[in-house]
């Protein structure tokens, strides 16, 4: 009653009713001291009919929209903008913890790190072997030989053989055959001379059956124990590359259809079944940090803000991202508390949001806002955050701490009725999001183009082969000589076979397919004639004796006496 009496006393001479907002002094900047208090504050002050005693007992500052009230409106104000007239309208907001936009706040200036002096070679093979580092290759050599000994076999794997093994795997990504053994076939339709001249088929099978990354005698509870060295060594070398100003956080999938506790299913993804990899990548597709999702054994810090914010902040910490870098993330990761925490750490943050994460932000309901013309937008500036809702093909909500004011640009959209491209207004923060968000998906797309096509029944083999392709894509993104990924991968694979392969001393036996083709020609009873070759040192195919005659069609040495018997029996 005392509060109502005070308000009415101020308006006793007024003929119109004012929109009144009651703001306690101590609540004005609560968000600056506790970034996790958004939800609790909203619950406490969201209903003006049930204000708690801690607010009613505070010193009151009364402000309104009436001309007789001299105070200015305190707190966030929701604005709507239409694609046609671009006029702003003020909307009343129920009493809640106010927050004023800090227009003086700026994300720290991005200062790029100098390149590591070790990355000076222009040779594609040297660059690839840098991003698939020697430390990882040494671990693979040691553990593979140890695993073979534990199985009672002698492998004696050398570095040249391992690099040749990698080259054959890379070749299988763009020169695919139904079965890997066909690469060593003599049949002209599937044979690969580069592979045959670099390593024996049986030796390749021996290496593939014994290749390992860890000692099985030291197994731990980590579900990804067998592939931890892969991610550790690759992350170490990727972190040596300066991080770009704009980076994206998203998940990648490693295809796998077998049984494993960490296998995931994501509806709508190009790869729906497999292992999930949290990734931090630049707009060009270069991955700076990757971490497999394995439940409680995921090697990322727990921030208490939820899984999505913990992934973003954990990847930023592991990659040692400097202040000033701008992060982009989708609605799986974005929360208001994440944006506040990124602001405190000096990072830019921009991401789409789900309706459930908006809490008491007074936006129009998505079902209602969808009925407005395409290009309409409404926004809210609160503290260091700009929250925008935009109507495109669907309703999109984006939050950003990199803009203090709402600005718009133009975008082209297809008009089904007119069958032409129309220009619509698009918020600038959404344009920036679309420009810089696709780095992880771009890397995933490049990996899937020429993915290693030699498979194994081991659950960790997809991670092993994926790591080769990921290192290849990062090498190509870093290297500026080849514009085409296929040309770059072919150059690396062929050079590995030529430099480190060993040509077999003798030819292997003929395949069963070649024998079957020869037999079909041998017994067709068409145009088989004996002819004199002029040579006396060929052995008859039937009896083994010396002869100068041969079958002109089969090109097989035969005595004239053995000619009929060879073609009929």
pLDDT the model gives residue 190: 87
Q: Return the percentage of the chain with pLDDT > 70, whole number.
A: 77
CA distance 501 to 491: 15
Higher pLDDT, 377 or 32: 377
Query: Per residue in 79-101, is it b (16+ CB within 10 Å) or e — as a string?
Result: bbbbbeeeeeeeeebebbbbbeb
pLDDT the model gives residue 41: 33
pLDDT the model gives residue 361: 85
How many residues are given for the chain? 569
pLDDT the model gives residue 236: 92
Range name among 77-81, 388-392, 454-458, 527-531 with the lowest pLDDT average: 77-81
Confidence of residue 512 (pLDDT cuts 50, 70, 90): low
Query: Per residue in 42-55, is it b (16+ CB within 10 Å) or e — as a string?
Result: eebbeeeeebeeeb
- State how far the alpha carbon of 433 is from the alpha carbons of 249, 323, 352, in Å: 12, 19, 9
DSSP reduced 3-state for 513: helix
- Residue 333 sits at φ, ψ, to 5 deg, of -110, -25
Please work out, in degrees rounded to the nearest 5, the angle formed at the alpha carbon of residue 247 by the alpha carbons of 244 and 253.
125
What is the average pLDDT score of the chain?
80
pLDDT the model gives residue 97: 38
For the segment 536-561, the average pLDDT, to the nearest whole number, is 85
pLDDT the model gives residue 298: 86
CB 87 within 8 A of CB 81: yes
pLDDT the model gives residue 489: 94
**Torsion region of 109: left, alpha or beta (phi above 0 gives left; psi -120 to 50 gives alpha):** beta
- Whole-prediction pTM value? 0.73
What digits encode the pLDDT tens for the residues 210-222?
A: 999 999 999 899 8
What are 350's strand-pairing partners? Answer: 328, 400
Range name among 191-200, 501-510, 554-563 with the lowest pLDDT average: 501-510
CB 390 within 8 A of CB 396: yes
pLDDT the model gives residue 539: 86
What digits encode the pLDDT tens for the residues 94-142?
A: 333 334 445 556 777 777 766 665 666 788 999 999 999 999 999 999 9
Looking up tokens 């208090």, which residue turns up? 37
Most confident of 58-62, 119-123, 204-208: 204-208
- Residue 349 sits at φ, ψ, to 5 deg, of -145, 130
Taking the C-alpha atoms of 364, 366, 372 and 376 in order, what is their torsion angle to the nearest 10 degrees? 70
Give the other-Cβ count within 10 Å of 312's Cβ: 27
Confidence of residue 525 (pLDDT cuts 50, 70, 90): confident
Provide the terminal-to-terminal Cα distance of the chain, rounded to the nearest Å.
Answer: 116
Within 8 A by CB and 6+ apart from 366, the residues are 355, 395
Range name among 96-110, 146-160, 187-201, 400-414 with the lowest pLDDT average: 96-110
Higher pLDDT, 414 or 447: 447
What digits encode the pLDDT tens for the residues 78-104?
A: 666 655 433 333 333 333 333 444 555
CA distance 355 to 359: 8
pLDDT the model gives residue 269: 83
Higher pLDDT, 5 or 190: 190
Cα-trace Rg, the chain: 34
CB 150 within 8 A of CB 446: no
What digits encode the pLDDT tens for the residues 178-199?
A: 999 999 988 888 888 999 999 9
What digits encode the pLDDT tens for the residues 258-267?
A: 999 899 998 8
DSSP reduced 3-state for 52: coil
CA distance 251 to 263: 14
Nearest one of 244, 237, 236 to 127, comparing CA atoms:
237
Query: Helices 201-210 and 159-174 meet at what angle, rounded to 10?
Result: 100
Largest CA distance in the chain: 132
For the segment 484-507, the average pLDDT, to the nearest whole number, is 89
> Which helix H or strand E contains 470, and what residues bound it?
helix 461-478
Range name among 74-88, 96-110, 274-288, 507-521 with the lowest pLDDT average: 74-88
């Amino acid at each position: 009653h005392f509060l109502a009496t005070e308000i009415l006393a101020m308006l006793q001479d007024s003929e119109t009713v004012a929109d009144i907002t009651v703001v306690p002094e101590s609540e004005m900047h609560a968000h600056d001291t506790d970034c996790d208090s958004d939800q609790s504050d909203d619950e406490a002050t969201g209903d003006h009919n049930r204000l708690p005693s801690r607010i009613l007992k505070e010193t009151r500052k009364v402000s309104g929209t009436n001309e007789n009230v001299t105070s200015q409106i305190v707190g966030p104000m929701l604005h709507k903008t239409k694609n046609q007239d671009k006029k702003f309208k003020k909307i009343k907001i129920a009493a809640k913890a106010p927050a004023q936009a800090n227009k003086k706040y700026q994300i720290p200036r991005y200062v790029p790190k100098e390149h590591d002096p070790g990355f000076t070679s222009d040779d594609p093979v040297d660059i690839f072997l840098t991003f698939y580092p020697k430390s990882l290759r040494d671990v693979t050599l040691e553990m593979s030989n140890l695993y073979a000994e534990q199985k009672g076999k002698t492998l004696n794997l050398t570095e040249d053989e391992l690099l040749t093994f990698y080259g054959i795997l890379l070749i299988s990504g763009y020169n695919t055959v139904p079965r890997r053994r066909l690469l060593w076939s003599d049949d002209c339709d599937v044979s690969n001379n580069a592979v045959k001249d670099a390593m024996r088929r049986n030796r390749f099978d021996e290496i593939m059956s014994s290749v390992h990354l860890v000692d099985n005698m030291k197994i731990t509870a980590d579900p990804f124990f067998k592939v931890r060295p892969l991610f550790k060594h690759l992350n170490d070398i990727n972190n040596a590359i300066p991080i770009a100003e704009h980076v994206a956080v998203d998940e990648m999938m490693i295809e796998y259809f077998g049984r494993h506790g960490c296998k995931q299913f994501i509806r709508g993804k190009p790869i729906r079944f497999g292992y999930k990899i949290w990734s931090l990548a630049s707009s060009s597709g270069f991955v700076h940090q990757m971490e497999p999702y394995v439940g409680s054994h995921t090697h990322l810090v727990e921030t208490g803000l939820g899984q999505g914010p913990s992934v973003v902040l954990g990847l930023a910490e592991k990659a040692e991202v400097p202040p000033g870098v701008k992060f982009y993330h989708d609605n799986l990761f974005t929360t208001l508390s994440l944006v506040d925490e990124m602001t405190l750490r000096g990072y830019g943050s921009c991401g789409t949001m789900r309706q459930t994460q908006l809490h008491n932000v007074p936006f129009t309901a998505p079902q209602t806002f969808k009925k407005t013309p395409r290009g309409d937008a409404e926004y809210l500036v609160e503290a260091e955050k700009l929250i925008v809702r935009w109507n495109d093909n669907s309703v999109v909500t984006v939050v950003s701490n990199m803009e203090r004011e709402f600005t718009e640009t133009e975008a082209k959209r297809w008009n089904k009725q007119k069958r032409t491209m129309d220009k619509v207004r698009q918020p600038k923060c959404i344009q920036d999001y679309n420009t810089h968000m696709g780095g992880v998906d771009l890397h995933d797309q490049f990996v899937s183009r020429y993915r290693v096509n030699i498979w194994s029944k081991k659950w960790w083999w997809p991670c092993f082969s994926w790591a080769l392709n990921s290192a290849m894509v990062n090498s190509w993104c870093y290297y500026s000589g080849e514009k085409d990924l296929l040309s770059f991968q072919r150059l690396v694979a062929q050079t590995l076979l030529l430099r480190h392969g060993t040509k077999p001393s003798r030819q292997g036996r003929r395949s069963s397919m070649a024998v079957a083709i020869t037999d079909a020609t041998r017994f067709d009873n068409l145009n088989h004639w004996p002819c004199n070759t002029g040579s006396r040192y060929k052995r008859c195919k039937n009896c083994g004796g010396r002869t100068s005659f041969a079958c002109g069609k089969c090109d097989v040495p035969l005595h004239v006496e053995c000619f009929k018997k060879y073609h009929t029996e």
